[in-house]
């Protein structure tokens, strides 16, 4: 395998026509737009449905936790499916799981069954886990020095969902006037139909499969290199040196974690991605409650959150370009520094100051864009195709698990220390990672 390792890990080992990557990106962009619009409805409306059934806001919060748990549980199995059968299968199965789960939620609504709603919420997390893989699928065939732009474009496509998705809840809930369906049930029919559509789009149009094509190119290059080596040395060692094919290698959690332990560049990408995402989730989730306590109107809270979403997704193509041009290290530092500044602004902003909280959330979103896009691109660049997918699955599991813990802990922290205390803790976490990145330097080792 030495001949394979001699190539730059993150780039396709053999030339792939640019038109193939352009087609893949077009399909992934359409997939991301439709998926983000559909899935953005699920979070708000499932809580409203659960509260209607139980009459308890506390129990309604369990549905959000269930979605997080589902995304954590499905991250590695879906990555293993992709590693063995290609991106088409992994993405389609995840989206279809979410569609069936949305149907389970509808049954729970019809029967006033809170357990069914929780189970359905868990399954919707499977669709979210598949959605996380879309950004990685964009890098499978990316040329050397283009990983950042590929991730950035797909991430940018989420803007539609972040902005339009929540507003569709009210429209879809009144989709059929005079419908006998209980309140907050119709949106899940739309979610189910949308996820069936995304699964069909992934399976039917993501051809050729980018992961399988990149893997075939890697295997072909390894075979050629070993044949040339055997001819040069006049030894028939090519077949013995080729090792296992990519489909025979372990693709589970252990394989992914083992890869991350061995590769410092990949490990650092995961640490930065996890930090910026978990801190963003914790501070963003509690910001609306913070402003509500300060007497800010619901309309203004919605506008502030919209600015935050814009800060997350709109800069993504620019961030991707900067990653490819200047490297991931500078974007790691920039993203973490922006989030540290955001934590400072949020710490100092009183709850009635929508301008102060809005500025903090805008910085928080921009920091997320820099760190998350750079981390996703850096992880793909750091690893060969044969090791990449298990590590990506482990990465998503770590990110989602940390975010779930952060989201659950945020409420407790605010109750005990206030929102300013939560901002201080988030800033401390970001600062610790930032100092570590600065100490180790661009190469990931202390100077």
Instruction: Tell whether the model's pLDDT for residue 252 goes beyond 80.
Output: no
Interhelix angle 253-262/57-85, rounded to 10 degrees, is 80
d(CA 361, CA 305): 8
Tokens coding 113: 């069954």
Which 3 state secondary structure label does DSSP give 263?
Answer: coil
Rg (CA), the chain: 22
Q: Over pLDDT 90: what percentage of the chain?
A: 56
Question: Are 322 and 148 within 8 A, CB to CB?
Answer: yes
Q: Is 234 exposed, middle or buried (0-12, 13-18, 19+ CB in 10 A)?
A: exposed
d(CA 172, CA 166): 10
Q: Tell me, what's the pLDDT at 15?
A: 58
d(CA 419, CA 442): 34
pTM: 0.85
Asked which of 16-25, 162-171, 263-272 is least confident by mean pLDDT, the reply is 162-171
Report which DSSP code applies to 352. Answer: T
Sign of CA dihedral 173, 179, 183, 186: negative
Which 3 state secondary structure label does DSSP give 228?
Answer: helix
**Burial annotation 321-343 (CB, 10 A radius, 16+ → b, else e):** ebbbeeebbebbbbbbbbbbbbb
Q: Tell me, what's the pLDDT at 241?
A: 41
> Model confidence over 306-357: pLDDT tens digits?
888 889 999 999 999 999 999 999 999 999 999 999 999 999 999 888 889 9
Tokens coding 290: 């913070």
**Burial annotation 1-16 (CB, 10 A radius, 16+ → b, else e):** eebbeebebbbbbeeb
Average pLDDT, rounded, for the chain: 85
Q: Tell me, what's the pLDDT at 16?
A: 64
CA angle 74, 75, 81 (to 5 degrees): 85
> Model confidence over 359-369: pLDDT tens digits?
999 999 999 99
- Residue 178: pLDDT band by 50, 70, 90 thresholds? low
Of residues 362 and 43, more confidence is placed in 362
| Cis amide leading into 143 (omega within 30) | no
Q: Tell me, what's the pLDDT at 179?
A: 66
**Burial annotation 172-196 (CB, 10 A radius, 16+ → b, else e):** bbeeeeeeeeeebbbbbbbbbebbb
> Model confidence over 48-94: pLDDT tens digits?
888 888 887 667 778 878 898 999 999 999 999 999 999 999 999 99
- Residue 443: pLDDT band by 50, 70, 90 thresholds? confident
For the residues 119-146, what does the mean pLDDT come to?
93
d(CA 183, CA 344): 41
Asked which of 124-138, 251-265, 281-295, 373-387 is least confident by mean pLDDT, the reply is 281-295
d(CA 41, CA 7): 43
For the residues 405-413, what does the mean pLDDT come to?
83
């Amino acid at each position: 395998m030495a001949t394979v390792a001699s190539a730059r890990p993150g780039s396709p080992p053999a030339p792939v026509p640019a038109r193939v990557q352009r087609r893949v990106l077009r399909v992934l962009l359409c997939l991301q737009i439709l998926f983000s619009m559909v899935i953005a409805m699920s979070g708000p409306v499932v809580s409203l449905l659960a509260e209607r059934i139980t009459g308890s806001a506390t129990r309604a919060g369990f549905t959000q936790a269930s979605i997080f748990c589902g995304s954590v549980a499905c991250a590695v199995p879906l990555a293993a499916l992709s590693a063995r059968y290609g991106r088409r299968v992994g993405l389609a199965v995840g989206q279809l799981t979410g569609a069936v789960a949305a149907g389970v939620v509808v049954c729970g609504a019809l029967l006033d069954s809170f357990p069914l709603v929780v189970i359905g919420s868990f399954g919707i997390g499977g669709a979210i886990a598949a959605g996380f893989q879309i950004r990685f699928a964009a890098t499978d065939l990316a040329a050397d020095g283009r990983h950042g732009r590929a991730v950035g474009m797909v991430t940018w496509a989420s803007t539609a969902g972040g902005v339009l998705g929540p507003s569709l809840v009210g429209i879809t809930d009144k989709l059929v006037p005079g419908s006998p369906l209980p309140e907050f049930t119709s949106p899940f029919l739309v979610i189910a139909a949308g996820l069936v559509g995304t699964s069909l789009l992934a399976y039917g149009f993501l051809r050729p499969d980018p992961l399988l094509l990149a893997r075939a190119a890697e295997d072909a290059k390894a075979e050629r290199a070993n044949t040339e080596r055997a001819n040069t040395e006049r030894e028939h060692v090519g077949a013995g040196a080729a090792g296992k094919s990519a489909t025979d290698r372990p693709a589970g959690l252990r394989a992914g974690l083992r890869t991350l332990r061995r590769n410092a560049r990949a490990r650092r990408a995961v640490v930065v991605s996890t930090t910026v995402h978990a801190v963003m989730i914790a501070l963003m989730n509690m910001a609306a409650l913070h402003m509500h306590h300060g007497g800010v109107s619901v309309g203004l809270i919605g506008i502030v959150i919209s600015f935050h979403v814009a800060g997350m997704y709109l800069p993504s193509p620019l961030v991707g370009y900067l990653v490819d041009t200047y490297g991931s290290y500078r974007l790691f530092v920039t993203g973490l520094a922006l989030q540290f500044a955001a934590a400072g602004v949020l710490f100092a902003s009183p709850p009635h100051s929508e301008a102060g909280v809005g500025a903090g959330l805008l910085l928080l979103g921009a920091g997320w864009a820099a760190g998350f896009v750079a981390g996703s691109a850096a992880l793909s660049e750091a690893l060969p195709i044969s090791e990449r997918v298990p590590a990506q699955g482990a990465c998503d599991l770590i990110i989602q698990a940390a975010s779930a813990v952060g989201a659950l802990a945020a409420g407790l922290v605010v109750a005990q220390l206030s929102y300013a205390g939560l901002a201080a803790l988030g800033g401390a976490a970001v600062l610790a990672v930032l100092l570590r990145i600065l100490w180790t330097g661009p190469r990931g080792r202390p100077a």
